[in-house]
Amino acid sequence: MMTSGPFAVEARHQNKSARTRARLMDAAVEVFARDGFEAASVNEIARMAEVANGTFYVHFKDKDAIAANVAARIATDIADQIDRAMEGMDDALDRFGFATRQFIAFASSQPQWGWVIIRAASFLPEMHRQMETHMCADLEMGCRQGQISAEIDAFLVDTITSMVFAALAARLRGDAGPEAGSRVTELVLNMLNIPPQRAHEVAWQDITLKDLHLPTQPKTERLAH
């Protein structure tokens, strides 16, 4: 008996090549989350995916290739879904608060994805930057709307990102409860000199966190060899 990860479930009805590739990606998530990118080995990923080690190289050039692939998939998956969930929202601060809270809620409900995101921060700076750019949009909208007086530059965006990531890490370690998203949102808004009352309202208002799509299916039987 073995569990199928999200990628494998998604590829269920594609051809064998795609299915094996997906198994490898799920295994990679598991290993990266557990051991970190540097400590992870191709051998271990193949073992976890229950394929021969040579099979790995049919699908990916090396560890970096699969890491980049996995990280990109996770990042765009989450970003797209958050974007879609916010489609109606106009207020920049509401958007920022929603995105932050939804991001932390989702990444901590899928701890393996969450850990990959945290670990990717140092190993795959591109992913980090992608999330920054994404967040930038709402903050700059806040400037145009006159709600944010601070100037949004790279340093500020970097600081905010590191706060959000720190909150996610605390949540994943178990050091913070489900309120982590709201707390960090309020702190960021305070930092930007939003009136405390408004910051508190944005950060703690009831929102319906969407159940982000993650096509996990329970189990799949499989005979050993």
Binding partner of 205, given a second copy, DNA, none, CB within 5-8 angstroms per partner class: none
Binding part of the chain for a second copy, among 36-44, 51-59, 74-82, 217-225 by CB under 8 A, reads 36-44
Question: How distant, in Å, are the alpha carbons of 6, 86, 117, 212, 220 from that of 216?
Answer: 5, 23, 19, 11, 11
Taking contact as CB under 7 A, which single stretch among the options 50-58, 137-145, 150-158, 184-192 is the one that binds DNA?
50-58
Applying CB under 8 A, among 193, 205, 217, 220 the residue interacting with a second copy is 193
Q: Which of 36, 31, 20 is nearest to 120 (CA)?
A: 36
Q: Do residues 212 and 78 touch, judged by C-beta distance below 8 A? A: yes
Q: What mask of x and - would describe binding to a second copy in positions 152 to 191, judged by CB under 8 A?
A: --xxx-xx-xxx-xxx--x----xx---x--xx--xx-xx
Residue type, 141: M
Residue pair 183/200 in contact by the 8 Å Cβ criterion: no
Residue 209 per-residue DSSP state: -
Across-strand partners of 2? 220
Q: Tell me the per-residue interface mask from 59 to 98 with DNA, x by CB under 7 A, - otherwise.
A: x--xx-----------------------------------
Instruction: Tell me which H or E stretch contains 3.
Output: strand 2-3
Q: Which residues bind a second copy (CB under 8 A)?
A: 36, 38-39, 119, 122, 154-156, 158-159, 161-163, 165-167, 170, 175-176, 180, 183-184, 187-188, 190-193, 196
